[in-house]
Structures are given as structure tokens and as C-alpha cells.
């Protein structure tokens, strides 16, 4: 065998291994996507079973609403990487806000409405695991599973829609004041959001078209404040922190900068840049009085860069 032949064989062997490895990697990533989908499917199925036995009475046979509001809304959907609609995946912060909204509403119910409190932690009948299964069902929009499992269940016990759906609203009791922070007014923003609006090509324009506010900033800080405003929507801050006044979920950002604020330990603090930074990166260190401590997400330290935190602070400072 001469040298050039040997070299050719070596090149050939290397090429074949590269091709085999590439094939394996492609297989492996598809396998992982499928495995993830299967797990989500199983969790949603458990959620659907819980929904069939606990929630259809008020929210309808397929989540279309009855004495309780419709839950099969696009606004409650969290889109993954490869949504069939081709829409952008829901940004992580926004997904967290939807998750917190659904979880808290389920765990605590709604004060002064017939929406019961479900969280075992607060005296209800469902564990955190079960609440998360219901949240997955709703945010994945798997009403097909509710329909299928519900039909099987109803056939077995011989129940009709009339037996299942609440007929006498007057007989239901109201949920008393408890851990809940959400109500129909502050739910409106999530109810009405359109997760399918952010198509890859149109995504940039959708995110850069905010409502009002960041105009008062000095020219130098203006760019940072505008970026902060976009971030506040993309990261889901805006769903809990209203820029215009309180929506009851998180403290309002309007006029908060420079203000004296009461903390739960009875002390007061002046809201300056350092306090804002600490509240974003290490929430619940002091906790603003009057709001639920667990609600402010704990993971922005990992998600936001230093620049992004500065941009958010610059934005909050402009809200007079
Ligand atoms: C006895 C009736 C009743 C039952 C049972 C019930 N709900 Fe509700 N639910 C309501 C009502 C009424 C509201 C709206 C309260 C309000 O106006 O803020 C509501 C609100 C909600 C919301 C917030 C939706 C929004 O647009 O604000 C979610 C999510 C929800 N329910 C999920 C569930 C789930 C999941 C179950 C089963 C574990 C369940 N509910 C069982 C009556 C009920
Ligand atoms: C699910 C709701 C929720 C989301 C999402 C959320 N927050 Fe909060 N945030 C709260 C609540 C509730 C508090 C008050 C209780 C506390 O301090 O833990 C709070 C407190 C704060 C405070 C202190 C405000 C004050 O007046 O003392 C700042 C600043 C803040 N959040 C910034 C942010 C930023 C920036 C984001 C997005 C990157 C964000 N939050 C996302 C619920 C939320």
C-alpha cells in the first residue's frame, strides 16, 4: 500500500465517523424533544383528570366557561420552541408570570367570588404537584384531553351535561379573603394577550411597540429606559407591575422612584437605585408591605444581565 492510498483510507474513515456522529446528534436532539413532549403530555393528562372531577362544574365541559370564565383562551397559553402555529416561543419571564397567575389563582381562589381555594397549604384539597398539573393543562391548552377523558368518565357513570354543570349559582358559597392577589381586573391583561402575535419576522416590531411612558428620560438614559420598557414586557414584569397605577398584584412602578416605602418589618426605605437593584436580584430580602412575598420571581439574578437590570431601573425611574 502506498502512502497516498493510506491517506485516502484515513480521510475516508474520518469522514464516515463525522457523518455517523452528526447523524447520532440529530437523532439525539429529536429524541430529547420527543421525551420532553411525552413528559408534558403525561402531566397534562393528570391535569385533565383533575379538571374533569373538580372544575367542569363551573368552567364548562371543555374549559369554555359556564358560571366561571373561559379558561381555553390563547392568553393563558405558554408556547414552546416548536409551536405548530410557527409563533415565537413565549419569553421565559412572561411564561413565569402566566404560571404564577394560574398557580396563585388556583391555590388561593378568588376572594368574594365562587372560585374556591384549592391549595392544601391554605386549607384546600389539592397538592402543589396537582396544582402544577392543572397549570400545565391550561398553559398547554390541552382541552382535547379534557374532552376525551371527560366523555369516558361521563359514559362510565352515566352523567349528562346537566348533571355536571352547576345549575344553582345561588347555592355556591363565596371564597373568603385569603392568600389571593389576583382579581378579574388585574387578570384582564393576561386574558387578552395574544401569544401568536409574535411571529419570528414580526417579533421585533411587536416588542418595540409599547404603549406610553418613557418619554421624560434625559437623552443619554433615554435609550436604556426604552430598552427597559421593552424588557419589562418581554420578561413579564409588566403583567404584575403596572406602570400607570396599582393593579393589585405587585407594587405599581408609577412614581415609586424617590418615594418612602413601608416594609413588612415596620421599617421604611427610600426607593433608590440600590433598593430597586436589590428588589430585582434578591427579592424578599425586605418585601414591600401589602403584597404577597412569594410572588416576585426569584430567578431574575440568573436571567438578566447587569445591563438589563440597569435598563429596567432606568425605565422605572422615568415613570413619574
Ligand atoms: C364553584 C365554581 C368554580 C369551580 C368549581 C372552579 N372555579 Fe375557577 N373560577 C370560578 C369563577 C367564578 C372565577 C372568576 C372569578 C373572578 O371573577 O375573578 C374563576 C376563575 C378561575 C381562573 C382565573 C381565570 C380568569 O380569567 O381570571 C382560573 C385559572 C380557574 N378559575 C381555574 C379553575 C380550576 C383549574 C378549577 C378546578 C380545580 C376551578 N377553577 C374550579 C368558579 C369556579
Ligand atoms: C408574578 C408577579 C411578578 C412578576 C412577574 C415580577 N414581579 Fe416584581 N414584585 C412582585 C411582588 C408581589 C412584589 C412585592 C413583594 C416583594 O417585594 O416580594 C414585587 C416587588 C418588586 C420590586 C420592589 C418594588 C417596590 O415598590 O418596593 C421591584 C423593583 C420589582 N418587583 C421589579 C420587578 C422586575 C424588574 C420584574 C421583571 C424583570 C418583576 N418585578 C417581575 C411581583 C412580580
How much distance in Å is there from the Cα of 14 to the middle of ligand 2?
Answer: 54
pLDDT score, position 81: 86
Which residues are CB-neighbours of 126 under 8 A, at least 6 positions away? 50, 54, 106, 118, 119, 120, 134
How much distance in Å is there from the Cα of 15 to the middle of ligand 2?
Answer: 54
pLDDT score, position 219: 45
Rg (Cα) of the chain, in Å, rounded? Answer: 25
Q: Is 172 in the pocket of ligand 1 (CB under 6 A)?
A: yes
pTM of the model: 0.62
Spatial distance between the Cα atoms of 28 and 80, rounded to a whole number of angstroms: 19
Q: Is 184 in the pocket of ligand 1 (CB under 6 A)?
A: yes
pLDDT, mean of each 10-residue run, the chain (320 residues)? 69 70 73 87 97 96 91 94 88 89 92 90 93 97 97 95 87 81 79 79 40 40 85 78 68 90 87 92 76 73 91 94
Dihedral sign for Cα atoms in the order 276, 282, 283, 289: negative
Intervals of CATH 1.10.760.10 along the chain: 210-320
* Beta partners for residue 262, in sequence order: 268
CATH class of the domain whose range is 210-320? mainly alpha
Alpha carbon 16 to chain centroid, angstroms = 45
DSSP 118-144: -BGGGT-SB-HHHHHHHHHHHHHT-HH
In this structure, the residue with its CA closest to atom 12 of ligand 1 is 68
pLDDT score, position 203: 39
Q: Is 118 in the pocket of ligand 1 (CB under 6 A)?
A: yes
Ligand 2 shell residues, CB under 6 Å: 93, 96-97, 100, 235-237, 239-241, 249-251, 256, 261, 271, 276, 279-280, 283-284, 287-288, 291-293, 295-297, 300, 312
Amino acid at each position: 500500500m502506498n502512502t497516498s492510498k493510506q491517506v485516502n483510507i484515513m480521510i475516508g474513515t474520518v469522514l464516515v465517523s463525522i457523518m455517523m456522529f452528526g447523524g447520532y446528534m440529530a437523532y439525539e436532539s429529536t429524541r430529547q424533544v420527543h421525551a420532553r413532549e411525552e413528559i408534558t403530555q403525561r402531566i397534562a393528562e393528570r391535569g385533565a383528570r383533575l379538571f374533569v372531577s373538580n372544575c367542569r362544574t363551573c368552567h364548562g365541559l371543555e374549559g369554555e366557561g359556564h358560571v366561571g370564565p373561559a379558561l381555553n383562551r390563547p392568553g393563558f397559553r405558554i408556547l414552546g420552541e416548536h409551536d405548530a402555529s410557527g409563533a415565537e416561543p413565549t419569553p421565559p419571564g412572561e411564561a413565569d408570570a402566566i404560571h404564577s397567575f394560574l398557580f396563585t389563582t388556583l391555590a388561593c381562589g378568588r376572594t368574594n367570588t365562587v372560585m374556591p381555594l384549592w391549595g392544601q397549604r391554605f386549607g384546600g384539597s389539592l397538592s402543589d404537584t396537582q396544582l402544577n398539573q392543572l397549570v400545565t393543562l391550561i398553559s398547554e391548552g390541552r382541552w382535547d384531553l379534557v374532552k376525551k377523558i371527560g366523555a369516558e368518565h361521563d359514559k362510565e357513570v352515566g352523567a349528562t351535561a346537566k348533571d355536571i354543570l352547576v345549575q344553582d349559582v345561588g347555592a355556591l358559597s363565596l371564597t373568603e379573603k385569603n392568600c389571593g392577589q389576583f382579581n378579574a381586573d388585574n387578570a384582564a391583561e393576561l386574558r387578552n394577550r395574544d401569544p401568536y402575535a409574535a411571529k419570528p419576522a414580526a417579533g421585533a416590531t411587536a416588542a418595540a411597540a409599547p404603549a406610553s411612558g418613557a418619554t421624560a428620560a434625559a437623552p443619554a438614559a433615554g435609550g436604556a429606559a426604552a430598552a427597559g420598557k421593552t424588557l419589562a414586557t418581554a420578561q413579564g414584569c409588566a403583567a404584575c407591575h403596572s406602570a400607570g397605577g396599582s393593579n393589585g398584584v405587585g407594587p405599581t412602578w408609577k412614581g415609586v422612584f424617590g418615594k418612602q416605602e413601608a416594609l413588612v418589618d415596620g421599617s421604611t426605605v427610600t426607593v433608590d437605585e440600590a433598593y430597586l437593584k436589590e428588589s430585582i436580584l434578591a427579592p424578599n430580602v425586605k418585601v414591600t408591605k401589602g403584597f404577597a412575598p412569594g410572588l416576585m420571581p426569584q430567578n431574575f439574578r440568573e436571567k438578566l444581565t447587569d445591563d438589563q437590570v440597569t435598563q429596567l431601573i432606568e425605565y422605572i425611574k422615568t415613570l413619574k
